[in-house]
Amino acid sequence: MTRYIFIVLLIISSFVKSNQFIHGVDISMLKQVEDNGGYFYENGIQIDPIQIFKDKGVNTARIKIWHTPTLNYNNLESVLEIADRAKNAGLDLLLDFHYSDTWADPSSQTKPLAWENLTFDILCDSVQQYSHHVITKLKDQNTLPKYVQIGNETDCGLLWPDGYVCDESNNDSQWNKLGQLFAHAIDGINGALDNQDTLEIISHVSSGGNWFFSNLVSQGIELDILSISYYPMWHGTFTDLIQNINDLGNELQKSVLIAETAYPFTLGWNDNTNNIVGLETQLLEDYEATENGQFLFLHDLITLVGENNFGLGICYWAPDWISTEQFGSPWENQALFDFDGELLDAISAFESPSVKIEKFDNLIFSNIYNYPNPFNVNTTIKYDLPKDEFVTIKVYDMLGNFVCRLIHKNQNSGHQSLQWDANNNKGHPVSAGVYLYNIEAGNIRETKKMILLK
């Protein structure tokens, strides 16, 4: 199996509001696991998983909230409890409103039973009052979220059928209704804040998102962060992911968060609940379903997102959903604890220094990236040149050895691009590996990384 060695580079971006790269975990299942006999260990010693996440480099806890679930989990009472634990451990909070009594995802956005027969105007008012109430309760116990997500994987909208916008409902009237639902949710959230309070609004789809976010923004909805999920079995390769992030970032000029991701440490099982991932065909090429494969996946994902101009961070979904005798788990082989509750090595992927996203007014380059990255044979390097300048681009391997020079000439200001063909590298094909391309113009020099997979 190929293992890639990564370095952390400075990312230049002028649109990102937050300098903190999100190292997140979704701990929405934790209370239910613990109440059903789940215990967690590091080197055989029982631990608090929230504290160990913090100690290992996690900075954000994502928590979902359902309106009135059948069981006493993921409701406001349990969310307040787990939010208090996370805040006391020093974690920022990301609250995920599902606006449902149960799971909300691309295939299901069922209204809470309490709202089922409301007129649209009263539904909007209920969304606003409910959102206001939840944020007020969190603020009152000193656990105001830093991020609030409006809906979960809302590829076709939320609160169906009122907020459904796919198929025959992809029309101005339905988009207007969805916009009103989002606006009332945001008004309710912001209405609970004092002048000194700040939080950022997130919208989340499973993947893609240009169509959805563009239409939503056209309704006057102001979003701070765009978010997508990334599960290889559904959403493709790392190359597909980076293309998705770049497409969103370039079109909407917003930062992009991977709100959900996970990877298996085994294809085996520990209970009689069918696991969601259990086949070799569901795996990402070059990443085995082993403890080391899980570590490599998470490490490489964090690095790729961190090095992307628009990448804001990742949240690992349900790292704590281990199985117990009383409570089965379809996620047990994708948790960050093994079948005995022992902490896995993948957690160390969060320990690398946080990637800082900063703006420098005096840099001559902006929006530097190559696509695709990783790539098999060809990749296109793109960058913006604010003024006419003599530009040199050289490629080096990870040992610092010179590989080739791609350009050495005067260029005019504006958007520039050139292609590197690794198979036709001036008669000297290069092998798979990690390479650095160095761009120089005047006294300014920038270095970026690219990965050749062939």
Which two tokens mark 158?
Answer: 């939320």
Cβ 93 vs Cβ 143: under 8 Å: yes
Say if strands 378-385 and 366-371 run parallel, antiparallel, or are unpaired: antiparallel
Q: How far apart are CA 106 and CA 80, in angstroms?
A: 27
Q: How far is CA 123 from CA 1, 134, 185, in A?
A: 53, 16, 11
Cβ 290 vs Cβ 298: under 8 Å: no
- Report the alpha-carbon angle 221-226-227, nearest 5: 135
In the set 260, 332, 440, 446, the catalytic residue is: 260
Which residue is it, tokens 């990443």? 287
Strand partners, 370: 381
Identify which of 453, 373, 370, 365 has the alpha carbon closest to the alpha carbon of residue 406.
Answer: 370
In the set 153, 200, 288, 307, the catalytic residue is: 153
Looking at residue 71, the DSSP 8-state letter turns out to be S
* 280 included as an active-site residue: no
Identity of the residue numbered 143: T
- Max intra-chain CA distance, the chain: 70
**Which letter, b or e, does each residue of 153-192 get, where b requires 16 or more Cβ atoms within 10 Å of its Cβ?**
bbbbbbbbebbbbeeebeeeebbebbbbbbbbbbebbeeb
Q: How far apart are CA 374 and CA 392, in angstroms?
A: 23
| For residue 69, cis peptide bond before it (omega within 30 degrees of 0) | no
* 116 included as an active-site residue: no
Sign, CA torsion 233/28/50/138: positive
**Which letter, b or e, does each residue of 364-397 get, where b requires 16 or more Cβ atoms within 10 Å of its Cβ?**
bbbbbbbbbbbbeeebebbbebeeebebebbbee
Residues known to be catalytic: 153, 260
